[in-house]
């Protein structure tokens, strides 16, 4: 028995949330509903309370519940938070991290898997803003279902219909049961983000890595049931559901954290580790003034990928990433041999890849080079996770 927190948004498809409540319970789970102000125009809290046999929550400003921080408890007591229907408005607020009512506040406060089933007019769904929000949410680890295609209440035709309640239930159960996934019992190490190499207590050398691709990979591996240790450089990204995260700052800290996290069945080294650090970082802030500009002496950082590939505890599958701005595949093939990695995922970062939501990658393995089409980072992550599952 799992506990589902169901958020019902303000769309015409809210009536189908009633059927979803019935199906979730029939499958042996419990449901607690939160209905937004918009949602209450389409379905009454009374209906949802009767069907769920649970209290229905509608407001953040409840003296009785909030005396015990009810919004935090609600979001933590659940095993999964489902949003159905997820309106364009709710998706936008979720993507932006807005928390201006009970539903959005507990979506921001939750540490549980979140699944959204969108429903809206086809133009609203296809609008660049909505598509951007969906990509952001997927990058953040939210499972956003594809809406169904067909005739709509508004008289138009196209994608935007709420998936059938049976399909939403199946997706909820799949999201709840990663332990039955293909990578069950496997430990995978993922590094992500940049490293910061201090110059003095206030200045550092960094690079443009956002961590998005590595975080998406960690999330995709966890979704397949792997135990994932994510070693993250300084990035402002939420931890994907089901992932154990270790934050580090410098390359040397990252190398030590990788070492400490072993043994692992596979390692995906996505982090953009600084090749060099300053010879000796100043203990105090370097003052501008009397002398000429200080010279930075750089020394080489440990090579984490090569170190891991040649270590006594080498994971069965070692995957490196190569960010290149020219002759991408050629460099990647050379890097694979030089580092002793099994696979190299090469990407051309001369455009807006760093920090962006899409990626164009080439997978270099012992059997050759596969060039993937331009994909959302979340899709690159899913495809790579499946390939890792095949290999293990």
Q: Which is nearer to ligand FMN, 88 or 333 (CB)?
A: 88
Contact between 87 and ligand FMN by CB under 6 A: the answer reads yes
Instruction: Estimate to the nearest angstrom the gap between the alpha carbon of 374 and the chain centroid.
Output: 19
Active site residue 33: no
Determine the interface stretch with ligand FMN among 9-17, 270-278, 307-315, 342-350 (rule: CB under 6 A): 9-17
Helices (H), 188-327: 212-223, 251-261, 304-309
Kind of pairing, strands 143-144 and 114-118? parallel
Name the residue with the smallest CB distance to ligand FMN. Answer: 38
Contact between 12 and ligand FMN by CB under 6 A: the answer reads yes
Cα→Cα distances 233→3, 63, 158, 188, 249, Å: 34, 41, 42, 17, 5
Least Å distance, CB 115 to ligand FMN, is 16
By CB under 6 A, name the one of 21, 32, 34, 39 that touches ligand FMN.
39
Least Å distance, CB 8 to ligand FMN, is 8
Contact between 216 and ligand FMN by CB under 6 A: the answer reads no
Give, for 136, the enclosing helix (H) or strand (E).
Answer: helix 128-139
Contact between 7 and ligand FMN by CB under 6 A: the answer reads no
Contact between 89 and ligand FMN by CB under 6 A: the answer reads yes
Q: Read off the DSSP letter of residue 101.
A: S
Contact 143, 114 (CB under 8 A): yes
Determine the interface stretch with ligand FMN among 44-52, 84-92, 307-315, 354-362 (rule: CB under 6 A): 84-92
How many angstroms separate the CA atoms of 237 and 264, rounded? 24
If you write DSSP's letter for every residue of 193-223 in order, what string do you get? SB--EESSSS-EE-----SHHHHHHHHHHHH
Contact 340, 269 (CB under 8 A): no
By CB under 6 A, name the one of 2, 15, 30, 38 that touches ligand FMN.
38
Determine the interface stretch with ligand FMN among 31-39, 245-253, 276-284, 308-316 (rule: CB under 6 A): 31-39
Contact 71, 60 (CB under 8 A): yes
Contact between 119 and ligand FMN by CB under 6 A: the answer reads yes
Contact between 117 and ligand FMN by CB under 6 A: the answer reads no
**Residues recorded for the chain:** 392
Contact between 9 and ligand FMN by CB under 6 A: the answer reads yes
Considering the candidates 50, 96, 153, 154, report the single residue annotated as catalytic: 154
Least Å distance, CB 89 to ligand FMN, is 4
Determine the interface stretch with ligand FMN among 37-45, 197-205, 288-296, 381-389 (rule: CB under 6 A): 37-45
Contacts of 254 (CB under 8 A, 6+ apart): 191, 195, 231, 233, 248, 271, 273, 304
Question: Could you list the residues that contact ligand FMN (CB under 6 A)?
Answer: 9-13, 36-39, 87-90, 119-120, 124
Catalytic residues: 154
């Amino acid at each position: 028995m799992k506990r589902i927190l169901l958020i019902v948004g303000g769309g015409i498809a809210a009536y189908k949330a009633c059927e979803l409540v019935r199906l979730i319970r029939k499958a042996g789970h419990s449901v607690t509903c939160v209905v937004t102000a918009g949602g209450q125009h389409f379905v009454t809290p009374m209906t949802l309370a009767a069907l769920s046999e649970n209290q229905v929550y509608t407001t953040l400003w409840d003296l009785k519940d909030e005396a015990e921080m009810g919004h935090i408890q609600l979001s933590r007591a659940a095993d999964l938070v489902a949003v159905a229907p997820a309106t364009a408005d709710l998706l936008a607020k979720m993507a932006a991290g807005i928390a201006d009512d009970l539903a959005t506040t507990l979506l921001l406060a939750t540490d549980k898997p979140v699944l959204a089933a969108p429903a809206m007019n086809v133009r609203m769904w296809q609008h660049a803003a909505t598509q951007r929000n969906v990509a952001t949410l997927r990058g953040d680890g939210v499972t956003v279902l594809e809406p169904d295609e067909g005739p709509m209440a508004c008289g138009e035709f196209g994608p935007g219909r709420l998936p059938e309640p049976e399909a939403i239930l199946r997706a909820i159960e799949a999201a709840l049961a990663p332990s039955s996934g293909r990578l069950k019992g496997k430990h995978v190490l993922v590094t992500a983000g940049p490293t910061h190499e201090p110059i003095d207590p206030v200045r550092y050398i960094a690079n443009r890595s956002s961590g998005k691709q590595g975080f998406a990979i960690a999330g995709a591996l966890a979704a397949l049931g792997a135990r994932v240790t994510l070693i993250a450089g300084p990035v402002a990204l939420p931890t994907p559901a089901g992932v154990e995260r270790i934050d580090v700052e410098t390359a040397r800290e990252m190398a030590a954290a990788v070492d400490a996290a072993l043994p692992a069945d596979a390692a995906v080294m996505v982090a953009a580790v600084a090749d060099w650090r300053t010879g000796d970082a100043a203990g105090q802030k370097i003052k501008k003034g009397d002398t000429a500009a200080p010279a930075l002496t750089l020394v080489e950082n440990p090579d984490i990928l090569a170190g891991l590939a040649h270590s006594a505890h080498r994971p069965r599958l070692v995957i490196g990433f190569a960010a290149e701005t020219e002759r991408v595949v050629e460099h990647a093939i050379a890097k694979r041999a030089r580092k002793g990695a099994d696979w190299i995922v090469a990407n051309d970062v001369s455009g807006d890849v760093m920090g962006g939501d899409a990626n164009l990658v080439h997978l270099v393995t012992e059997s050759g080079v596969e060039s993937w089409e331009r994909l959302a980072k979340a899709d690159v992550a899913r495809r790579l996770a499946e390939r890792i599952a095949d290999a293990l």
